[in-house]
Structure formats: structure tokens, C-alpha cells
């Protein structure tokens, strides 16, 4: 990576981290020319000044520059106070459509501040003439009314958090603190409802310094209120749970629906129900007393089942591993394509196909380079029988171990593998994600819009091409690979 490309990746890191391209400054600035080369000037063409923008509406921001490099960010100022980041696009587009913030506040001293940047940093800045904004939404307000200090609430009880609001909108988040430290996120409720039922779990711990925070936020603003003083929770204990069905003498036929039941001294907990302590069957309130389970047929002829129930918030667990399931069969999974020795072209979609019996759940797909690949969901239903693999253009030519299928979530673990496959180079320009014939800042912007950060995530096929490594995410490593391929305006 050369020096200019390294500079570009540093700019991109800022974009990916904060969603804007340029660092904050204290307020609007007139058109400026920066030394160090040819004239680098940006002028605001729109807004022209004197207009009145409507909050929540879309408006056009336009400019001209003396060279179509880098990109431009737009920010809304009320006097010297920044109100919002409106967006950023490649400088050569010369305009962007922005949404006027709903909660900007009516006034007649607004300006749009533009800053122009390339891989060397900020190269130009300009502000529009003054204009107005009208029709802003009224900012909501919140006042927590209970618990507001002095209450004593019992552990393992249902209590009601209440608040009043003005201009309510959307949902509020409810948090509980102890001793001023964030302790737990409790949930959400509509601001207009004015209340939230809090199931206080028995293992929360006795303290006299709890407080509740109610908070609302959107992309523009946030409002919140907390208990004025501490309240107390008393009577904490460690709850237990015991499975009552199945029993050790039960024999449940495969292919039938059965009821798993339990008893517990907890009224407010949730129960996690698992098969073999790994396969999640469901989570339900403990007071439901049970969970229905369809017993799969493909668990395998030698399978010995075990049901586990756990009080999610407090941890107590019980296991029943002495009951039996009758009528089990061995599942089958056969990979139809690709076959061993088959040739696949990089950059071209390839349809993986398979046949299966007695697999009522999903199939995971392992493709060359030992990375899990997804198609808008964590795995593919076995009944689908096929999956379109968008083979990465930068997958190096050569022989690979092949494609492997694994099914295990609702059946005995079965696998199928193609054996060695051959990848041949495809046509096209790696990194040209927008298809305009080169790799430039526009491709970087398109990648940023699909950025997921590091870690295995659910990828939609529409953005799979951005996974340059590929490893199941779209992160800064993919951005660096794209930068290595730069051949457009930024690289020049």
C-alpha cells in the first residue's frame, strides 16, 4: 500500500467509526483556499440564502469544486452551534439530497457548512448564506413518577414503573441502576403509555440504593429522567426449578408433539429450554409451566436425549436425561453439486445443491477458505435443497478442499463434502463494487454503507461482494483489500 492509499484508509477508518468524513470545527467558515498545490476551492450553490426549509422534508445541497476528488460532508448549523450531520458523498457528485431534522427547532439563522476532504485531509470548506427552518416537531419531555425515591419493593414481584410525558413519540428505554452504576437494561415501552411492568427477579440482590432511568433518543436528540432519590429492593433469594415431565419412565415417540413441564418457586423468571444443553428449544415465562416440543425423527438410532431447563436470570438448572424416544431413524445428507474435481469461476454465482431425509432443521454451508457463508440468515433450511454461492472475485485460483454441508440443530450430526474443487480466475475488476470501470472513492463509500464491523454476521447476497477476504463480515480488513486495488481518482 503506497502513502496516498495509507492516507485514504485512515480517512476511511474515520468514516467507518463515526459515520462522517471530517473532524469537528467550531463553526461555519467562509470559502477558503488551502496552500500546497493547485487552487482547491469549494463554493456552496444551494441553499442560496433566505429560503425556509420545512423540518422533516428533503432539500438539495449543491456546490462546485475545482477538481472532482475526495468527498464532501454537509453539516447543519444554527448560528455557531452544529445541529446535525446531514450526509457526505463524493465531491464530484456536486450535490446531495438531505433530510431536514425533525427536531431542528424553528429559526432564521441556519447555514449549511461543507467540508471537502481527500486522502491528504481537509482541502476546502465553505458555508451557505443564512436561511430559515419552520415546522419543527416539539421536543418530547419525560418525568419519572415511580419509583421516585423511598419505595420498598419486594424481590420476585411485578412492579410498575411510571412516567408522564409531553409531546410523546416512539418508545422509551428503561434502565435500573444501583449505587449510580448501570446495572441492567429492563426493556422498552411506548412513551405515550406512561408505564412499564418490571418483573423483579428474586436473585437481584437486596440494596437500598436503586434508581430507575427512563430515556428516549433518536438520531437527533435524547431526553431522559431518573428517580429523584434511592429506593429499596428487599427479600432476594436464590430460586430453584424442577422438571416434572418427561419423567425417567417416559417413552416419547419420534414425530409427535410433547409437553415439557416444570415447577419453580420463582414467579418472575424466564426459562430457557434446551435439548442436550446445546440445542435451544425455546424461552418462555416460568409461570407458563411448560413448553411444547416436536420430537424430530432424525435424531439417530442410538440417541439418548436430555432435556435441560434453566432459570435464565438466576441460573438454577435441572436436567432430565433418563427418558427415552422411540422410532428414531438416521438422517441422510447428500451433496449433489459441486462434485469432486469440478471447476468453478471466481466472481460468478454458483448453485450448491443437496438432497436430505429426516432433517427437519437447517444446513450450514462451509465454502473454500474455511469461512462460513450466509444468505440473509444464519443457515439454510435443509428442505431448500440449494443455495446460491456468490463466489468472490478475489478468491485465488487453485485447488480447494471443497464445499461441506453440516446439519446438526434438529438431528444427529451429518455432513457431506464435495472433495477437492478447482477455482479459476474470473473476469472483472476486483473492488469495482459499483461497476463503473475503476476502483475509486465511490466504491469506498458503497462499502461503508454496507459495513458490519468485525465478526461473523448475517450477510445479505446483495452486499456479499463487499466481503473481500471473504470471512463472513464486512470490516476494515475488507476495506484495506479494496484500497490495495485502487486505480481510480483517489489512487491518482
Taking phi first (over 0 means left), then psi (-120 to 50 degrees means alpha), and beta for anything else, what does residue 299 get? Answer: alpha
What integer pLDDT is reported at residue 250 of this predicted model? Answer: 95
Could you list the pLDDT tens digit for every one of the 492 residues in the chain? 443 443 444 444 434 433 333 333 323 333 344 443 444 789 999 999 999 999 999 999 999 998 888 889 999 999 999 989 999 898 889 999 999 999 999 999 999 999 988 777 788 899 999 999 999 999 999 999 999 999 999 999 999 999 999 999 999 999 999 986 767 899 999 999 999 999 999 999 999 999 999 999 987 789 999 999 999 999 999 999 999 999 999 999 999 999 999 999 999 999 999 998 888 899 999 999 999 999 999 988 888 889 999 999 999 999 999 999 999 999 999 999 999 999 999 878 889 999 999 998 889 888 875 444 444 445 788 999 998 887 877 778 889 888 889 988 777 889 999 989 999 988 766 666 666 666 766 677 777 777 766 655 555 555 666 666 666 677 777 777 666 666 555 444
Q: Estimate the crossing angle of helix 3-18 against helix 441-449, to 10 degrees.
A: 30
Q: How far apart are CA 360 and CA 362, in angstroms?
A: 7
The CATH class of 3-134 is mainly beta
Helix or strand run (H / E) with residue 319: strand 317-320
What integer pLDDT is reported at residue 331 of this predicted model? Answer: 93
Q: How far apart are CA 349 and CA 68, in angstroms?
A: 35
In a 13 Å sphere around the CA of 169, the CA atoms on its Cβ side amount to: 13
Tell me which residue of 8, 18, 10 sits closest to 485, measured CA to CA. Answer: 8
Helix or strand run (H / E) with residue 173: strand 171-178
Q: Which residue has the cell 469549494?
A: 42
The set of long-range contacts for 183-188, using a CB threshold of 8 Å and a minimum separation of 24, is 183/210, 186/161
8 Å CB contact between 200 and 157: yes
What integer pLDDT is reported at residue 408 of this predicted model? Answer: 81
The boundaries of every CATH 2.60.40.10 domain in the chain are 3-134, 141-234, 241-326, 332-424
Cβ within 8 Å of residue 2, ≥6 positions away? none
Q: Are strands 152-154 and 231-234 parallel, antiparallel or unpaired?
A: parallel
Q: What is the grid cell recorded at 489?
A: 481518482
The pTM of the full predicted model, rounded to 2 decimals, is 0.68
Total Cβ atoms within 10 A of residue 115: 24
Please give the CATH topology (third level) of the domain spanning 332-424. Answer: Immunoglobulin-like (2.60.40)
Tell me which architecture the domain covering 241-326 has in CATH: Sandwich (2.60)
Tell me which residue of 122, 131, 75 sits closest to 98, measured CA to CA. Answer: 75
DSSP string, 374-426: -SSSSSEEGGG-EEEEE--TTSPSEEE---EEEE-SSSS-EEEE---EEEE--
Q: How far apart are CA 128 and CA 207, in angstroms?
A: 56
Q: State whether residue 46 is helix, strand or coil.
A: strand
The CATH class of 141-234 is mainly beta
What integer pLDDT is reported at residue 238 of this predicted model? Answer: 96
Tell me which residue of 413, 408, 336 sits closest to 379, measured CA to CA. Answer: 408
Q: State whether residue 171 is helix, strand or coil.
A: strand
Amino acid at each position: 500500500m503506497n502513502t496516498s492509499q495509507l492516507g485514504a484508509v485512515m480517512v476511511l477508518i474515520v468514516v467507518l467509526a463515526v459515520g462522517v468524513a471530517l473532524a469537528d470545527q467550531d463553526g461555519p467558515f467562509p470559502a477558503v483556499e488551502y496552500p500546497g498545490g493547485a487552487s482547491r476551492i469549494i463554493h456552496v450553490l444551494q441553499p442560496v440564502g433566505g429560503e425556509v426549509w420545512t423540518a422533516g422534508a428533503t432539500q438539495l445541497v449543491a456546490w462546485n469544486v475545482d477538481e472532482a476528488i475526495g468527498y464532501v460532508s454537509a453539516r447543519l448549523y444554527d448560528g455557531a452551534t452544529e445541529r446535525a450531520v446531514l450526509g457526505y458523498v463524493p465531491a464530484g457528485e456536486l450535490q446531495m439530497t438531505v433530510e431536514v431534522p425533525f427536531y431542528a427547532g424553528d429559526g432564521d439563522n441556519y447555514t449549511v457548512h461543507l467540508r471537502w476532504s481527500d486522502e491528504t485531509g481537509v482541502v476546502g470548506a465553505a458555508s451557505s448564506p443564512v436561511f430559515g427552518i419552520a415546522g419543527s416537531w416539539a421536543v418530547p419531555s419525560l418525568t419519572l413518577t415511580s419509583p421516585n425515591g423511598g419505595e420498598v419493593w419486594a424481590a420476585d414481584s411485578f412492579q410498575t414503573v411510571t412516567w408522564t410525558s409531553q409531546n410523546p413519540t416512539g418508545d422509551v428505554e428503561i434502565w435500573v441502576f444501583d449505587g449510580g452504576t448501570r446495572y441492567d437494561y429492563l426493556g422498552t415501552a411506548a412513551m405515550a403509555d406512561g408505564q412499564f411492568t418490571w418483573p423483579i427477579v428474586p436473585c437481584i440482590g437486596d440494596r437500598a440504593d436503586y434508581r430507575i432511568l427512563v430515556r428516549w433518543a433518536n438520531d437527533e436528540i435524547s431526553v431522559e429522567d431518573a428517580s429523584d432519590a434511592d429506593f429499596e429492593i428487599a427479600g432476594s433469594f436464590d430460586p430453584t426449578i424442577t422438571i416434572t415431565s418427561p419423567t425417567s419412565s417416559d417413552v416419547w415417540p419420534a414425530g409427535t408433539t410433547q409437553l415439557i413441564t416444570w415447577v419453580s418457586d420463582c414467579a418472575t423468571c424466564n426459562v430457557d429450554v434446551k435439548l442436550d444443553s446445546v440445542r435451544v428449544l425455546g424461552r418462555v415465562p416460568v409461570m407458563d409451566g411448560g413448553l411444547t416440543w416436536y420430537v424430530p425423527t432424525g435424531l439417530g438410532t442410538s440417541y439418548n436425549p436430555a432435556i435441560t431447563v434453566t432459570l435464565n436470570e438466576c441460573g438454577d438448572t435441572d436436567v432430565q436425561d433418563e427418558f427415552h424416544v422411540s422410532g428414531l431413524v438416521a438422517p441422510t445428507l447428500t451433496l449433489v453439486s459441486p462434485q469432486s474435481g469440478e471447476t468453478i469461476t471466481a466472481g460468478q454465482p454458483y448453485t450448491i445443491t443437496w438432497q436430505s431425509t429426516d432433517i427437519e432443521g437447517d444446513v450450514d454451508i462451509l465454502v473454500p477458505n474455511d469461512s462460513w457463508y450466509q444468505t440473509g440468515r444464519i443457515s439454510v433450511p435443509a428442505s431448500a435443497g440449494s443455495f446460491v454461492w456468490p463466489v468472490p472475485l478475489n478468491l485465488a485460483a487453485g485447488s480447494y478442499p471443497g464445499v461441506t454441508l453440516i446439519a446438526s440443530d434438529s438431528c444427529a450430526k451429518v455432513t457431506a463434502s464435495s472433495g477437492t474443487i478447482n477455482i479459476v480466475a474470473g473476469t472483472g475488476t476486483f473492488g469495482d463494487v459499483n461497476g463503473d470501470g475503476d476502483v475509486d472513492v465511490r466504491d469506498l463509500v458503497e462499502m461503508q454503507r454496507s459495513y458490519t464491523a468485525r465478526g461473523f454476521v448475517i450477510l445479505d447476497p446483495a452486499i456479499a461482494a463487499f466481503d473481500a477476504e471473504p470471512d463472513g463480515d464486512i470490516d476494515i480488513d475488507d476495506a484495506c483489500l479494496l484500497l490495495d486495488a485502487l486505480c481510480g481518482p483517489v489512487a491518482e
